[in-house]
Amino acid sequence: LQALYNSIKNEKLEWAVDEEEKKKSHSDGTDEKDNGSQTKAVSRIGNSNNPFLDIPHDPNAAVYKTGFLARKSHADMDGKKTPRGKRGWKTFYAVLKGTVLYLQKDEYKPEKALSEEDLKNAVSVHHALASKATDYEKKPNVLKLKTADWRVLLFQAQSQEEMQTWINKINCVAAVFSAPPFPAAIGSQKKFSRPLLPATTTKLSQDEQLKSHEAKLKQISTELAEHRSYPPDKKLKGKEVDDYKLKDHYLEFEKNRYEIYVGLLKEGVKELLSGGENDAPGLKKSHSSPSLNQESPVSAKVKRNVSERKDYRPETPSIKQKVT
């Protein structure tokens, strides 16, 4: 074991890459040098040094929804409470482009390059779930977005219809393009750990994606039933009880997420992504499909209310959640 540890320490492991993709990337690089007229490659947003976790930034990705949104940070990574000074409402011009929700200061212009600040505010919606924030009553038309790394963001739309459209669009993009998750980390401790959710888009067809989501839903439903059939002993310590609640909360959330994904894929996401700005909450097929470029949103600046100094408690496994 010591020899294996020293070998890994001295020679760092490289991320696995298909040989065909590696050859293709090398050939594309040489072609770009020779011709200089190739399309821009997909860059990544983030500094985690992990190609599976950094947000893929594709300038040629399709735009599914645009409009003004006010954002409020509710919980940081892993559901940790956002510091008080970073929880204020800020208004952005939101652009759902590919699997990334860009939050810009100015209106979207396809020919204009994004600034570094715009890229920092970007949120990846892979494996994410958007829902109405029923437990937030300070402002109307607020939706809650829970990301793959368990960040929780609140967004206020200009109307109830806009809020529902944003929810439908985000969930559709996540259902169609989220790649299958990797297995969770394995260690000697019994502590629960979530699986790794890659930010890269899936290579499966829509039918294969539906089967993958259905298999994952069946697996998680079985795990949740087995998990709840063996509740922790009352004599156990606090950490073990918290770990049980964390796993229970995770499995319940994942079950709900995959149920929505499966329902969207069965309903027909192509119609919902191609148009239908007036998509109903029931996710029925829309008869009118206006172009996204024809939107004319009205700027609505949202100022922070002094009464919002009251803490809005984040999602934690030790508290019974109103919304999963």
Q: What is the per-residue pLDDT across 311-321, written as a single tens digit (0 to 9) for each?
A: 334 444 443 34
pLDDT on residue 18: 52
In a 13 Å sphere around the CA of 203, the CA atoms on its Cβ side amount to 1
Query: Is the pLDDT higher at 20 or at 273?
Result: 273
Which of 148, 126, 127, 171 is CA-nearest to residue 77? 148
Q: How many Å apart are CA 232 and CA 235, to the nearest integer?
A: 8
Higher pLDDT, 212 or 119: 212
Tokens of 163: 């809020």
Query: 305: which 2 tokens?
Result: 């209310």
- Is the pLDDT at 71 greater than 50? The verdict is yes
Q: Quote the Cα angle for 90-175-98, to 5°.
A: 55
Q: State the average pLDDT over residues 144-172.
A: 95
pLDDT of residue 312: 39
- pLDDT recorded at residue 30: 41
Q: Give the model's confidence band at 287: pLDDT under 50 very low, under 70 low, under 90 confident, else very high.
A: very low
User: pLDDT at residue 322 above 90?
Assistant: no
Indicate the average pLDDT of the chain: 76
Distant-in-sequence, close-in-space partners of 31: CB < 8 Å, separation ≥ 6: 38
| pLDDT for the residue numbered 239 | 82
- The Cα–Cα gap between 111 and 107 comes to 12
pTM above 0.75, yes or no: no
When pLDDT is cut at 50, 70 and 90, the band that residue 207 belongs to is very high
User: Phi, psi (5° rounding) for residue 252?
Assistant: -65, -40
Least confident among 165-169, 206-210, 215-219, 305-309: 305-309
Q: Is 83 exposed, middle or buried (0-12, 13-18, 19+ CB in 10 A)?
A: exposed
Taking alpha carbons only, the member of 93, 132, 125, 88 closest to residue 109 is 93
Segments of the chain assigned E as strands:
43-45, 55-57, 63-75, 90-97, 100-104, 123-124, 129-132, 142-146, 152-156
Distance CA(247)–CA(193), nearest Å, equals 8
> pLDDT class for 234, splitting at 50, 70, 90?
confident
What whole-number distance in Å separates Cα of residue 288 and Cα of residue 272?
11
Looking at residue 290, what is its pLDDT?
35
- Residue 17, C-beta contacts closer than 8 angstroms, at least 6 positions apart: none
**Of residues 222 and 193, more confidently modeled:** 222
For the chain, percent of residues with pLDDT exceeding 70 = 69
Position 183 pLDDT exceeds 60: yes
Task: Please give the Cα distance from 70 to 154 (Å, whole number).
Answer: 8
Three-class DSSP labels, 60-100 = CCCEEEEEEEEEEEEECHHHCECCHHHCCCEEEEEEEECCE
pLDDT bracket for residue 187 (50, 70, 90): low
Output b/e per residue, 188-219; b: 16+ Cβ within 10 A.
eeeebebeebbbbbbebeeeebbebbeebbee
pLDDT confidence of residue 21 = 52
User: Does the pLDDT at position 7 exceed 60?
Assistant: yes
